[in-house]
Structure 1
């Protein structure tokens, strides 16, 4: 006699759905339904017009946007998940004991992981976070990962009001890269015993990274409850795979963009890497303050990186592995790929494709599964060599592209667009005579936020700074405005900002369905 088996909590949706005649079969593809709901979402389509790192208009050529990045993260993540799911050895047994690694769940999470990114990349995110705090008094501010979860569970709707896309617990849990609320960051010092992203960026501001707002806490808790084997503050296995794939794609596909756009000066990059390799022992003796003051001096940036990873991640970082990765990137990327300028030829495209495929394949096959991960790691992570390679590749891009003054000037202008939008919409909603003419979606989002605040007040009032009805309404207005601005594409943000500030004379120039 077989033991009765209860319902699988991984496939539990926020709200139960009725079986239709096509679904009333022994096998119901719950996770495939989730994947299709995400990919058919307008929030997913929107990613094609949202900046990844450098905007398509700013680079003057076809570069990765948030959609192409998400598609590639999905491909990398699926390859890792298929390997883990098909492993019937010790590694596979451990994965199943931790809740499993369904390739479709991983695909869904990878497809969804960037839905919450606002216009203009990470600077747009930082600007919205500041405005949410300073202008509206929202202690939780704005965070792209938490916005993703809010979209999936509340703002985007499939077939009924108030239930979001009504995804399974497995998929909801798989997008929780930083499985905590912002307030949980208080008290952490950011040292090696602190999970990545949990410490505050500034004292008193809560976690720097987090995956759910208080308003969406019930969905957060239900999703996490489906994985009793996963410790608090730890990602599920499927989330770890998605996170690894995101790191791989970010470190290599953005390199692809910068190489094609001729943004990486090979001589400058080579000087950094070759100087550190040559003077490694001497640089290790230089005081930290001296390195910081002269961080642009060749070799100093890599030495600062070496010290930072050894301080933050002693569970995996090491001198030998770091040196080997620097040498590998120097040989294959700096003196290999970058030594031949991209000329747009078919031969150049073939060479770049082969280079990328080789690196991606090696990183995909460098996955380790552990039952008791370090607090700064996950149950699934890259081995030491691959982890250092990704770290060094990220440094290369940050040091020689993201910190460029010309890019900073461009991004400052984009940040001003976000500020103009938030300020204008706030003034509009404060105008009793004109509020009825505000964009319908904006008004809807304010009402959704108001409902959410009242629900939290009734069920968990201790999570709110106040229970005063008027104050909660002000918070709801702020959250609704932030939700609305975050949902715009880069072009929509520019267009609407010009319209609402009177800078455009074209009446029908919005394209946003205002």
Structure 2
């Protein structure tokens, strides 16, 4: 026997999972014949299926936060963002599995498979629509209004629907036919959306943490709830896991997504000249009665009353300001030293936060995960995410572009809905949309959701092209455009 020094080879790390066979089950087709030379685990096969999917390749043309233009510095799209989430997530998983005390908790709480973590991180944005976050907001409004879909639209729920039903990989089954462990790990918000309250909806959204949590974000539509519950059966028997608790692998993916969004987008926007760090530093003042920090502090206090700390928040403000001053405050002149300083700072922060992720024998906050950033790092990441939200997404010049993108999505839904409901012209609908409607109709579901499914197969550029054709404002740019 050899002494356990806390380090194990990769092939042993990925085996540190629950022996429950339900983790490795596939909901659609239980097992597939594989060649004798295929030595991959079921989780590694999941990862490869995602990488070979059309839905994955599409992400290269989908906005992450801000739609980039040719004369701007290269910025992340959904694909490059997902690649980095996968790298950060796998690093977190392997670090936890190398730590002996953490491994003991991992085993008790159901296990971690590093391949499942990576697969879920690669897949977590597959259902997100064109035009980034503004696309999500717009499609949710038209879904609950014009399309009469009670649970609206949400990118995470659309992702689950995409991997379960939407991607055509074989004529023998729908979707990617992933294992239950990977399906569950994709679900950052393992619940359905609460029905909208007619009378006090706005008040509840402002003040009720549980209502905010279950209405704003969710990972499953009603139409896929039975499959979702079946996938989560292996978690139900683990002591301490409630219906709303993420799997360990989902928690790792979730925290990796936060770290990546907080750091890589900050780098992007600074180097693209979009983020004015000096303006950020002026805003980060704790004495402001109605500034960014007050609003963020109030929101975190409502949503995380048993994890948020006023003292740690004030400390996080100092840490973030010092980091911004040291690495991002100088005007970006495109020089090698400026770029190098920013990239080095980003790398250092990524490493810091990866090493700040912990596993606990109890959830970190009510309805929360068993794996999360430690309290100090968590407050810093929340603040960094808010910087991107307030100083990039809400910029007036970005708003001009986004309002145009909102209009395109709203008009496309109207055009496609009228065309779908036209008996005389239904057969000339885009083939993918028509096929999904005819497949979905026998189940008795609302086929209007198929319009959203179709739009979520398009890149930003394809969305523009489809709008130009349907509005008659521009002909197809090439013969291939006709096949949208």
TM-score (normalised: structure 1): 0.84
List gaps (5 residues or longer) in structure 2: 1-17
**CA distance in structure 2 between the partners assigned to 1:345 and 1:353 by the alignment:** 12
- Residue 311 of structure 2 is aligned to residue 320 of structure 1: yes
Structure 2 contact 63–78 (Cα < 8 Å) conserved = yes
1:174-225: per-residue Cα shift (whole Å, max 9, x none)?
Answer: 01111111247879956998459534xxxxxxx2211111111222011110
Q: 1:359 aligns with which of 333, 342, 349?
A: 349
Q: 1:12 aligns with which of 13, 25, 34?
A: 25
- Residue 65 of structure 2 is aligned to residue 65 of structure 1: no
**CA distance in structure 1 between the partners assigned to 2:182 and 2:196 by the alignment:** 24
Equivalent residue, structure 2, for 1:208: 216
**CA distance in structure 2 between the partners assigned to 1:130 and 1:309 by the alignment:** 25
1:42-88: per-residue Cα shift (whole Å, max 9, x none)?
Answer: 10000000000111128723111000100000010000001112222
Measured after TM superposition, the shift of residue 112 of structure 1 is 0.3
Q: 1:272 aligns with which of 283, 301, 308?
A: 283
Structure 2 contact 158–220 (Cα < 8 Å) conserved = yes
Equivalent residue, structure 1, for 2:368: 377
Structure 1 contact 146–210 (Cα < 8 Å) conserved = yes
Structure 2 contact 358–372 (Cα < 8 Å) conserved = yes
In structure 2, the CA distance between the partners of 1:341 and 1:159, relative to structure 1 (3 Å rule), is same
- Residue 227 of structure 2 is aligned to residue 219 of structure 1: yes
Question: SS of the residue aligned with 1:56?
Answer: coil
Question: SS of the residue aligned with 2:333?
Answer: coil
Structure 1 contact 185–198 (Cα < 8 Å) conserved = no
**CA distance in structure 2 between the partners assigned to 1:506 and 1:155 by the alignment:** 26
Measured after TM superposition, the shift of residue 447 of structure 1 is 2.4
Equivalent residue, structure 2, for 1:261: 272
Structure 1 contact 194–376 (Cα < 8 Å) conserved = no
**CA distance in structure 2 between the partners assigned to 1:102 and 1:417 by the alignment:** 41
Measured after TM superposition, the shift of residue 428 of structure 1 is 1.5
In structure 2, the CA distance between the partners of 1:167 and 1:147, relative to structure 1 (3 Å rule), is same
**CA distance in structure 1 between the partners assigned to 2:378 and 2:309 by the alignment:** 11
How well do the aligned residues superpose, as a CA RMSD in angstroms?
2.3
- Residue 51 of structure 2 is aligned to residue 39 of structure 1: yes
**CA distance in structure 2 between the partners assigned to 1:140 and 1:326 by the alignment:** 37
User: Residues 458-477 of structure 1 correspond to what in structure 2 (within 5 A)?
Assistant: 472=445, 475-476=446-447
In structure 2, the CA distance between the partners of 1:217 and 1:160, relative to structure 1 (3 Å rule), is farther
Structure 1 contact 150–216 (Cα < 8 Å) conserved = yes
